[in-house]
Structure 1
Amino acid sequence: MASLAETRKMEGLRTRLTALRRMLASMAGLIGSDYATKEQAWEMLEGLFNPLAHALTATAITIVAWHNWHAYGSLASVPAAIIVIGTFAIRLAFVRRFHRRGPDARVSDWVRRFASSSFIAALGWGSSLSILLYTTEGATRFAVFALISAPIQGASARAYAMPGGVILHISIVLGMISVTATAFGVTVAIPLALLYLWYQVGFVSELFTFRTRMLKADHDNRALLG
């Protein structure tokens, strides 16, 4: 019995590792590209280009910057607001182009464009949040630490479509923030960031497995129905 239980544990571990390897291999493409139809691919891209998370993050960072000026008379946080608003403007430009795409548009081209816009967003969010960590104090800094989870969770919510890109996005944001926090004197920032990243990888991996199974089942049903 013990041997059977150990065997099942090892099989479960191998399954998880295989799913993780496939997920990370999807860095430059949509999930389940072998099974998804063209319509499903465009639907996934529609969700990926949704600017709501960017709008909320930009608003929150701008509010913190305004509060730092209003409460403490400091303009040191203004660059954070400028960066994140600029990042949001770039995302809106991508969204506008996506919605105006022609009938000959190719999914692969827009996957690459989304990857580029996601990379820009990660740099923008990481930079602006790092600036806030440096330029705020007291209770406001606690609010910044709470705010850090917002863009990360926003990215994770899109993991069903492009998990590899999500992990890269999260890694950039957490990396920039943890280095800044370490320089600021928070010596446990990098270990905590790695633990948080591992948690997000596990979460994204579960979404990846679930979504892939759904797409494969739908693909098999279409094949059976002819």
Structure 2
Amino acid sequence: MRFFALWNPFVFVGYDIASKQQIKETVRELYSSKPHLTATIGFSFAGLSAALSGAVWTGAVATLIVLACMMFRVWMEHHFRARSSEDVGEKWVRLFVFGSLLSGFGWGLSGALLLYGTSAETQAITMGIACAILQGAAGRAYMTPGTALINISLVIGQMSIGAFAEGNYIYVPAFLLYFTFLASFIQQMVDNRLRQLNAEQTAERLFREITEKNELLRIANERLATKAYEDPLTGLANRRKFDLALAESLAASNDTGSTISLMMIDVDHFKAFNDTYGHQSGDECLQLIARAIGSSLAGRDSLVARYGGEEFVVIVRGEAPDMAIAIAERICLAVRLTSLDSLPSAPPRQTISIGLVSSRAGTPETREAMLAAADAALYKAKKGGRNRVCVHRGPCPGQQQEQDTVVPFDAAKQA
């Protein structure tokens, strides 16, 4: 920031790049009357020294001036804190500048009085207090450098006049040298402040960008994970997802004793369908069948997956075996009633065969046993004429108990 631009008392360093919270905290700090209390105590001590050395009126007037400035600053702080909103707009900046310059004028006038016609001890105390006050003002100048520079000029200028009038000519060049030092210090403080704000703004921007990119990466990973478990043709779960879901469902069933049912579904005579109508029509047929199966399971705790080729699998959780049979029959009917007129050459309606097995309460089942039982029931359904549901009764394969039985449900008779 250029030196001459620093002299504008209404310049708020970094206002255009600082956050609203930073601006509020800075203005709140500027309105604090604590530094003015220290200055008031210091000048009052110098005034007491003047009074004790014989300059009673000088000490009294100098003390009253700084006390008046202090009271005004206390009123300013109270007025600022009692404002109705968190607004820190131009009104409050103008009030701060006015109050600050008034304080600077009062300090300078008090210091000039204490340097004229007082003892050497009082003058030394006044110089020490003034240097401390000006150093403190310079340390806070990174926020409003113009106000600080004008205040320093007011104090040093008036005290130089007082010292010169007293005949202490050496004070004048010393004051000028001190002002040069403070101005250079303020310039450096402002530059550091701007670099800090720019660095914070850059860090915040980079943080937002990283957060946004991490969120995009998370979404992309979720989509990738979804695609990894999705059959690209039908949009159903794929074989990998089915294997995981079946393992989880069996574990939950074995822990809680709840029932799960497994259906293996095969599209009837699908090889002949592909040979007659082409693979494109075959793919569209599988898509229609997949939608029919999914719609039949709406509202159920279930999973529909493409097992491979023209085979589908369904896991139904928490339904009694009789209800699982009814659901399987509904699926058969839904597929049977699905029109294929929209496909090239308008193929006739398609049918499916279903093999169903339900876990038995209190009997732990394994993945292999459930799949083998469902596959055996599907084989019976296909052997029995297709377009039907066959249910595996009794223990799953591998459990040496009663013989397996298969109960057929002919969907064609109900269509």
Using structure 2 for the length normalisation, give the TM-score.
Answer: 0.48
Residue matched to 2:44:
62
Distance in 1 (CA, whole Å) between partners of 2:126 and 2:12 is 32
State the shift of 1:62 in Å. 1.2
- Choose the corresponding residue for 1:154, options 107, 120, 136: 136
Deviations 1:139-190 (A, max 9, x none): 2222122222122112112112111211111011101111111111122333
Identity of aligned residues (%): 26
**Does the C-alpha gap of structure 1 residues 115 and 139 become closer, same or farther in structure 2, counting only changes over 3 Å?**
same
Partner of 2:87: 105
Aligned position for 2:3: 20
Greater fraction of residues in strand: 2
Q: Larger RCO: Structure 1 or Structure 2 (Cα < 8 Å, ≥ 6 residues apart)?
A: 1
Larger radius of gyration: 2
RMSD (CA atoms): 1.8
Q: How much does 1:56 deviate?
A: 1.0
Give the superposition deviation at 1:49. 1.5
* 1:83–1:124 contact (8 Å) kept in structure 2: yes
What does residue range 1-226 of structure 1 map to in structure 2 within 5 Å? 19-24=2-7, 26-72=8-54, 74-103=56-85, 105-224=87-206, 225=208
Contact 1:27 1:163 in 2 (8 A): yes
Q: 2:31 is matched by which residue type in structure 1? A: F
- 1:63 maps to a residue whose letter is F
What is the Cα deviation at residue 19 of structure 1?
4.0
CA–CA distance in 2 between the matches of 1:177 and 1:219? 42
Change in Cα spacing, 1:32 to 1:189, as seen in structure 2 (3 Å) is same
The Cα of 1:102 is off from its aligned counterpart by 1.9
- In 2: Cα distance, 1:178 partner to 1:188 partner: 10
Asked if 2 retains the 8 angstrom alpha-carbon contact of 1:42 and 1:107, the reply is no
Per-residue CA deviations over 1:35-67 (Å, capped at 9, x if unaligned) read 111111111111211212211111111122223
**1:31 aligns to what SS in structure 2?**
coil
Match of 1:76, SS state, is: helix
- Can you give the 5+ residue segments of structure 1 that lack an aligned partner in the other structure? 1-17
- Give the counterpart letter for 1:193 in structure 2: F
Alignment size in residue pairs: 208
Q: Assess if the C-alpha contact under 8 Å between 1:122 and 1:173 holds in 2.
A: yes
Distance of aligned partners of 1:151 and 1:205 in 2 relative to their CA distance in 1, 3 Å threshold: same
What TM-score do the two structures reach when normalised by structure 1? 0.85
Partners of 1:101 and 1:144 in 2: how far apart?
A: 37
8 Å CA contact 2:10, 2:97 repeated in 1: yes
- Measure the CA separation in 2 of the matches of 1:216 and 1:115: 25
* 1:29–1:111 contact (8 Å) kept in structure 2: no
